[in-house]
Structure formats: structure tokens, C-alpha cells
């Protein structure tokens, strides 16, 4: 380094930093993400044959269902990455929560104040 500071290899840096609460939480959250992805693939393996027999799809159409799921993941990951880069990653969890779990329609009915229409 040009500034004369200490130089570490990757192994030395990991030993120096250690394994604390932060590293445990990162490992926990990453593990939950991997588990949810594995569950999604497993569910697709069960849903495909069920939909194939229930709707009378061809094998091409059945495989297209799985393909669309993964294409949606690709587009969603790219899109949310661009949004995160533009607006920041701190406000994104709240935005993601409300896009995935919108308030129920009853919420809009109960919170109307002099509105003549409900926009959902």
C-alpha cells in the first residue's frame, strides 16, 4: 500500500476481524435466503406435474411455467438492484415490504376521510 499501512492476506484479515455478532447475522440471513430459494425450487418440482395433469398442459408448457419463474427472478433482481443503487439500500426494506404485502382493502375503507372513491 502506498500509505505504509499494514498489509494483510485474506486469511490474515479474516483472523484479525474474527467471527462476531455481525458475521453471525450475515450468515443467518444469507442462510435463510438460500433455504427460501431451495424451497421455491422444491415447490416448483411438485407444482409442475400437478398443473400438468390438472390443466392438461404439454411438457413444453409445463417447463415454461418454471422458466417464467426464474426469468421473473432475473428481472426482479436486476430491477431492485438498480432501484437500490439509485435510492439507497436503507429505505428499500420498507418499500419492499409494502410492495409484497399491501394493506388489505379494509384499511382503505376504514381510513377514508372525505374521499368519494377508493383507489387500490
Q: What is the pLDDT along the chain (120 residues), one digit of tens a residue?
A: 567 778 888 888 888 888 888 889 989 989 998 898 889 889 988 888 888 889 898 989 888 988 998 898 899 889 888 887 887 766 666 666 666 665 555 555 555 555 454 444
85, three cell numbers: 443503487
Distance between CA 115 and CA 110 in Å, rounded? 11
pLDDT reported for residue 18? 84
pTM of the entire predicted model? 0.52
pLDDT reported for residue 118? 45
Amino acid at each position: 500500500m502506498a500509505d505504509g499501512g499494514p498489509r494483510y492476506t485474506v486469511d490474515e484479515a479474516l483472523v484479525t476481524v474474527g467471527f462476531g455478532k455481525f458475521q453471525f447475522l450475515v450468515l443467518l440471513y444469507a442462510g435463510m435466503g438460500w433455504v427460501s430459494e431451495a424451497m421455491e425450487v422444491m415447490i416448483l418440482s411438485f407444482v409442475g406435474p400437478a398443473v400438468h395433469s390438472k390443466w392438461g398442459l404439454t411438457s413444453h408448457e409445463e417447463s415454461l411455467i418454471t422458466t417464467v419463474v426464474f426469468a421473473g427472478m432475473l428481472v426482479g433482481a436486476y430491477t431492485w438492484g438498480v432501484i437500490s443503487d439509485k435510492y439507497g439500500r436503507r429505505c428499500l426494506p420498507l418499500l419492499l415490504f409494502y410492495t409484497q404485502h399491501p394493506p388489505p382493502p379494509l384499511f382503505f375503507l376504514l381510513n377514508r376521510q372525505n374521499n368519494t372513491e377508493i383507489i387500490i
